Amino acid sequence: MERIVQLIEEDLNKLEGAIEELLTTKIPFIKEVVYHIVKSGGKRIRPVLLIHSARMCAADGDKHIPYAAIVEFIHTATLLHDDVVDNAETRRGSRTANEIWGNEPSVLVGDFLFSKSFDLMIENNNAKILRIMAKVTTGLAEGEILELLKTSDIGTTQEEYFEVISKKTAVLLSAACEIGAVLGRVDARKRAALRKYGYNVGMAFQLTDDILDYVSDDTVLGKHAGTDLKEGKVTLPLIQALKSATEKERNQVRKTLDGRHVTVRDFEKVRGIIRKYGGIEYTLEISRKYVEDAKQSLKSFPSSPHRDALLDFADYIVTRKT
Instruction: List the Cα angle 86/91/93 in 5-degree steps.
Output: 145
Total number of residues that touch its own copies (CB under 8 A): 40
Query: In terms of DSSP bridges, do strands 90-91 and 94-95 run parallel, antiparallel, or are they unpaired?
Result: antiparallel
DSSP per residue, 47-63: HHHHHHHHHHTT--TTT
> Binding of its own copies at residue 131 (CB under 8 A)?
yes
Of 151 and 304, nearer to its own copies (C-beta) is 151
Q: Which of 123, 159, 217, 247 lies at the binding interface for its own copies (CB under 8 A)?
A: 123
Whose Cβ is closer to its own copies: residue 142's or residue 281's? 142
Contact by Cβ (8 Å): 23, 34: yes
One-letter amino acid for residue 68 of the chain: A
* Nearest to its own copies of 130, 220 (CB atom): 130
Q: Rg (Cα) of the chain, in Å, rounded? A: 20
Q: What are phi and psi of 90, to 5 degrees?
A: -135, 155
Least distance between its own copies and beta carbon 233 (Å)? 13
| Residue choice 67, 73, 114, 161 for contact with its own copies (CB under 8 A) | 114
Selected from 12, 108, 215, 286, the binder of its own copies by CB under 8 A is 108
Site string for its own copies, 20-59 (x = CB under 8 A): -----xxx-xx-----------------------------
Q: Judged by CB under 8 A, does residue 247 bind its own copies?
A: no
Interface with its own copies by CB under 8 A: which range of 4-12, 115-123, 176-184, 189-197?
Answer: 115-123
Asked if 107 interacts with its own copies (CB under 8 A), we say: yes
In this structure, are residues 49 and 176 in contact, taking their beta carbons and an 8 Å threshold? Answer: yes
Rounded Cα gap, residues 153 and 203, in angstroms = 21
Nearer to its own copies (CB atom), residue 119 or residue 218: 119
Quick one: DSSP state of residue 232?
T
63: exposed, middle or buried (C-beta count within 10 Å: 0-12, 13-18, 19+)? middle
Nearest CA-CA partner of 204 in 97, 72, 293, 111: 293
Q: Which range in 113-121, 173-181, 222-230, 283-291 contacts its own copies by CB under 8 A?
A: 113-121
Touching its own copies, residues 143-172 (CB under 8 A): 144-146, 148-149
Cβ-proximal residues to 310 (8 Å cutoff; 6+ apart), any chain: 49, 52, 53, 56, 197, 298
Asked if 79 is part of the footprint of its own copies (rule: CB under 8 A), the reply reads no
Q: Contacting its own copies (CB under 8 A), which of 6, 13, 115, 322? A: 115
Using the minimum distance from each CB to its own copies, give the nearer residue, 148 or 220: 148
Question: Comparing C-alpha atoms, which of 178, 208, 183, 182 is closest to residue 195?
Answer: 178
Nearest C-alpha neighbor of 29 from the set 108, 91, 134: 108
Least spacing, CB of residue 127 vs its own copies, in Å: 8
Stretch that binds its own copies, among 34-42, 142-150, 258-266, 304-312 (CB under 8 A): 142-150
d(C-alpha 273, C-alpha 269), whole Å? 6
Binding site for its own copies (CB under 8 A): 25-27, 29-30, 81, 84-85, 103-105, 107-112, 114-116, 118-119, 122-123, 125, 127, 130-131, 134-135, 137-138, 140-142, 144-146, 148-149
